[in-house]
Amino acid sequence: MSEQLEKRAAGAGRPASGTAGAEQLRKDALALDAEDALASARELFTLDEGVYLDGNSLGALPRQVPLRMADVIGREWGELRIRSWDESGWWTAPERIGDRIAPLVGAAPGQIVVGDSTSVNVFKALVGAVRLADAGQGPGGAPGAGDGSVRDEIVVDVSTFPTDGYIAQSAARLTGRRLVPVEPGDVPAAVGPRTAAVLVNHVDFRTGRLHDLPGITAAVRAAGAISVWDLCHSAGALPVGLDAHGVDLAVGCTYKYLNGGPGAPAYLYVAARHQAGFDSPLPGWNSHADPFGMTPGYAPADGAARGRVGTPDILSMLALESALDVWDGVSIDAVRAKSLALTDFFLECVRAYVPEGLVTSLTPEEHGQRGSQVALRCADAPAVMKELIARGVVGDLRRPDVLRFGFTPLYVGFADAERAARVLAEVLADVPAAPTR
């Protein structure tokens, strides 16, 4: 794949639009697939003959999961019953599975706990971040600027996924802070001695724009505040580097690029340096130092376990654990390289097949600013996506006018990208739409 990509990056052999161009693109797709070191991973998933480009909403089913779940339900639950909490390792699953996710987001073991939804974990992380700042556990070591001021602001990504915004509003009310919505690129200029915590999405869910996690985290740290990152659209698609970049807290879902299944539990990352001081706003019995002591007073557990709340959702958690087997031996750097190649190729095919003016890409061309999806603005987008799905190309929609195509490198190939662009052009010819602006 590398030789082909080098030629394309240099602009060599780029086809013109039209029949000859389409034939060349199909040949290029086959050549790229033939050189793809990750191509064999597709066989690990249950897929049909269509093109599935919605893994940024729900990942495909790994083939081994149904057999694992049959054992969990029939033997561990059906036969062992309550003994499975110990004998089958149910009790330790949140931390054990967290350690399997850790390498995919650049974290050392012992810093990630799996459980609850992304929304619940955003709440835990953001309120916990403010409490860390109040306790003087930010990088500056002081609650404020040292001049009597307090850290009374929470900075939030203005383009954030709506739930994150709702929770940030609630966390601000709960902690008596003022919410400061800013564009992610403006965070470094917005943070200062009054900033307690900053919540940013690593990848914009609408456009696929990748935000500068290292730079923003460094700016937050320099301001003495606590960083909280939402990794829902980056984990499993690109390197994150939580430890390397000094991230304080992070959350993410597991049903997108991690293929954990619908409603699979999310995860919470608490950097080791903050674990002793992390004060969760949801101190459930599962995070107690002596959970079976059933004492009225709360004493938090050590380590990542203090991010737990209630009884783990064992069935979905163990489905996730089995799904993570597809990552054995896979390099996240190789996944990132293929992701960029796929999205480059898809955009090239769109330019070749779709008449100018019918769609406009909202996804940055620059690799350093792109996640693993392509968002195209298109008039009458709901009708276009409905017809795409009917013709076997499954993407999704963000109203009113955005078509989203998620590229999961473990099971999406270059022929898929070419076919999706070609079918898109056919649909746009059949579903008349006004030019985009």
- Residues 45 and 142 placed together within one structural domain of the fold: no
150 is a domain residue: yes
Residue 355's pLDDT is 95
What confidence tier does 431 reach under pLDDT thresholds 50, 70, 90?
confident
DSSP, residue by residue, 239-251:
---TTTTT--EEE
Q: Which helix (H) or strand (E) holds 172?
A: helix 162-175
Would the pLDDT of 420 be above 80? yes
Q: Please give the backbone phi and psi of residue 80, each rounded to the nearest 5 degrees, phi first.
A: -75, -30
72 is a domain residue: no
To the query of whether residue 255 is one of the catalytic residues in this protein, the response is: yes
Query: Tens of pLDDT along 328-348?
Result: 999 999 999 999 999 999 999
User: Domain with 210 in it: what CATH number?
Assistant: 3.40.640.10
Dist. CA 395–CA 385, nearest whole Å? 7
Residue 46's pLDDT is 98
Cα–Cα distances (Å) from 346 to 104, 360, 392, in that order, read 25, 13, 16
- Residues 343 and 246 placed together within one structural domain of the fold: no
25 is a domain residue: yes
Q: Are 367 and 339 in contact (CB under 8 A)?
A: no
Buried b (16+ CB within 10 A) or exposed e, 344-361: bbbbbbbebbbeeebbeb
Catalytic residue among 209, 256, 306, 308: 256
As for how many domains the chain has, the answer is 2
167 is a domain residue: yes
Catalytic residue among 124, 404, 419, 422: 404
83 is a domain residue: no
Crossing angle for the helix pair 2-9 and 19-34, to the nearest 10 degrees: 140
**DSSP bridge partners of 200:** 229
Dist. CA 236–CA 331, nearest whole Å? 10
To the query of whether residue 124 is one of the catalytic residues in this protein, the response is: no
Query: Tens of pLDDT along 178-197?
Result: 999 999 999 999 999 999 99
Catalytic residue among 123, 161, 278, 411: 161
224 is a domain residue: yes
Query: Tens of pLDDT along 228-252?
Result: 999 999 999 999 999 999 999 999 9
- DSSP label at residue 44: G
- Residues 231 and 305 placed together within one structural domain of the fold: yes
To the query of whether residue 161 is one of the catalytic residues in this protein, the response is: yes
Query: Tens of pLDDT along 285-311?
Result: 999 999 999 999 999 999 999 999 999
Residue 199's pLDDT is 98
Dist. CA 50–CA 336, nearest whole Å? 23
Q: Are 404 and 56 in contact (CB under 8 A)?
A: yes
To the query of whether residue 206 is one of the catalytic residues in this protein, the response is: no
Residue 13's pLDDT is 43
Query: Tens of pLDDT along 358-399?
Result: 999 999 999 999 999 999 999 999 999 999 999 999 999 999
- Residues 220 and 269 placed together within one structural domain of the fold: yes
Catalytic residue among 45, 52, 123, 255: 255
What confidence tier does 15 reach under pLDDT thresholds 50, 70, 90?
very low
Residue where a domain stops, chosen among 276, 311, 346: 311
Residue 143's pLDDT is 57
**pTM to 2 decimal places:** 0.94
Residue 21's pLDDT is 86
Residue 432's pLDDT is 64
User: Domain with 426 in it: what CATH number?
Assistant: 3.90.1150.10
- Residues 274 and 422 placed together within one structural domain of the fold: no
- Residues 307 and 373 placed together within one structural domain of the fold: no
Residue 4's pLDDT is 62
- Residue 390's domain spans which residues? 2-63+331-430
436 is a domain residue: no
Residue 204's pLDDT is 97
Q: Which helix (H) or strand (E) holds 22?
A: helix 19-34
- Residues 346 and 290 placed together within one structural domain of the fold: no
Pairing of strands 178-182, 153-157: parallel
Would the pLDDT of 202 be above 50? yes
233 is a domain residue: yes
Cα–Cα distances (Å) from 33 to 38, 230, 246, 332, 345, in that order, read 9, 32, 37, 18, 12
Query: Tens of pLDDT along 75-108?
Result: 999 999 999 999 999 999 999 999 999 999 999 9
Residue 249's pLDDT is 98
Would the pLDDT of 216 be above 50? yes
What confidence tier does 18 reach under pLDDT thresholds 50, 70, 90?
low
Question: What percent of the chain has pLDDT above 90?
Answer: 90
- Residues 101 and 136 placed together within one structural domain of the fold: yes
Would the pLDDT of 20 be above 80? no
To the query of whether residue 230 is one of the catalytic residues in this protein, the response is: yes
- Residues 179 and 291 placed together within one structural domain of the fold: yes
Mean pLDDT for the chain overall: 93
Residue 139's pLDDT is 72
- Residues 59 and 124 placed together within one structural domain of the fold: no
- Residues 203 and 307 placed together within one structural domain of the fold: yes
Catalytic residue among 116, 164, 204, 230: 230
- Residues 56 and 193 placed together within one structural domain of the fold: no
Q: Which of 264, 309, 313 is nearest to 127 (CA)?
A: 309
- Token pair 């086959």 is at which residue? 30
